[in-house]
Amino acid sequence: MAEDLVLGLGGTVDYEIRWDAEVLSTLAREYGIRLDELTTTTPIIDERSLVVTVLAFLATGGGGERFVLSSEIVQRFAGHFDVEVTLGGTGVRAGIALDRIGVPTVQHLVSIDDNVRRLLPRSMRVVSSATRDTLDPHLIVQYPEGTTVRLLDAEVTAPSSNRIILANDAPNREMAIAADLGDALADASAFLVSGFNTMQDADLLARRLDDLVGAMQRLPATALVYYEDAGFYRRELSATVRERLLERIDVYGMNEDELQEYLGRPVDLLSPDDVVAALAEAHRLIPARALVVHTKYWAIAVGPRASAHRAGLESAVRTAATRYRLGDACTAADLDETARLPRHAGGATVVAEVERSLPAAGVAAYVVDTPHPTTIGLGDTFVGGFLAAVPSAARVATAAALERALDAAATMAR
């Protein structure tokens, strides 16, 4: 019987800095950074352009991932702050969340070093393509709502809390697929695919997709495939991944930042009409069986199989909210405490309207009041919470497998 949760495709070593607005203010003034320079799209070729990018995200309350010319730039910037070394990557953070509630996983890694060996949960079994130790840290900048940074000619204040990831990670950019991944997938009840967003070579991506599709031939027909978009460094490459994998993906996930990047416009996340229009447009662009968008107000699945994943959405939102208030220290008992918190009223209104207007299922987020929120890894923890519901939902996986078979039969008939 297939039981393993297999999570991939790449893990990272993260440098989580302790936010210090005074340090950013000092750097901004030393580099002579002005308000009209702030942009999230400038190439990050040195520490100055990294500071510009961080401040541009902060000014809008936005989050995202950006490529940095070298790991030395990351390390230089991190050196200005107190730093905690942690493990990241969607699969690894999802696995950590599952470990905290007693669910073991199998993790596909593309890099390894002593930090990974020391910090990886003991419950996690590893399949790896790494041939030597490497360290290319990901800089994680988590800023709180209301924080203010002084520039040369102005001040910028964060309208909300969020996080930014900045890195130059060769192993994840190359994303080599382990030769024994297929063996691990043979016993999988679910498979998480994420990490292709960091790749930048189209030809190499095509080869990696060949390797992945070959390994996925070993997946049981009932296994659920969850794909997390995670924000592509080269947005056009996301279409390449969908062309190869969409027919096997059961759940296609993304957060609010990635949704808005696909649409090319901002979305008012508390406007029912705007969200309905945005989700309908996103599903036309990405016609997944269940397209899941997770935000700080709500999590909604749209598509023909959306209603089958309500339990996964509920588990995901509860797990992410627990991390938001407690960080990595959360336990299964803490999930029960989170379940007693109130729901976001505006989020509930949006969910109700979307469910009236589209083939959709959604849940409102919890209202969490904490002076020290954890915004790092919330999307990854959401995914872990979603997958936690999979082993107890064999009927969902079976139905998904049946639908794929019907789709294939209909295609052959045409």
Question: Residues 58-109: pLDDT tens digits?
Answer: 999 998 889 999 999 999 999 999 999 999 999 999 999 999 888 999 999 9
The whole-angstrom separation of Cα 188 and Cα 185 is: 5
Strand blocks (E) in 120-196: 124-128, 138-143, 148-150, 155-157, 162-167, 188-193
43: number of Cβ within 10 Å: 11
411 confidence band (pLDDT: 50, 70, 90): very low
Give yes or no for a contact between 367 and 302, defined as CB atoms under 8 angstroms apart: no
Question: Residues 5-58: pLDDT tens digits?
Answer: 999 899 999 999 999 999 999 999 999 999 999 999 999 999 999 999 999 999
Residue 396 has pLDDT above 50, yes or no: no
Question: Residues 251-278: pLDDT tens digits?
Answer: 999 999 899 999 999 999 999 999 999 9
Mean pLDDT (the chain) is: 91
The whole-angstrom separation of Cα 179 and Cα 127 is: 9
Question: Residues 327-368: pLDDT tens digits?
Answer: 877 788 899 999 999 999 999 999 999 999 999 999 999 999
Structure tokens at 191: 């498979």
Q: 32-46, 223-237, 398-412: which has the minimum mean pLDDT?
A: 398-412
Question: Residues 154-173: pLDDT tens digits?
Answer: 999 999 989 899 999 999 99
The whole-angstrom separation of Cα 312 and Cα 383 is: 9
Residue 179 has pLDDT above 90, yes or no: yes
Which DSSP letter does residue 367 get? -
pLDDT at 372: 82
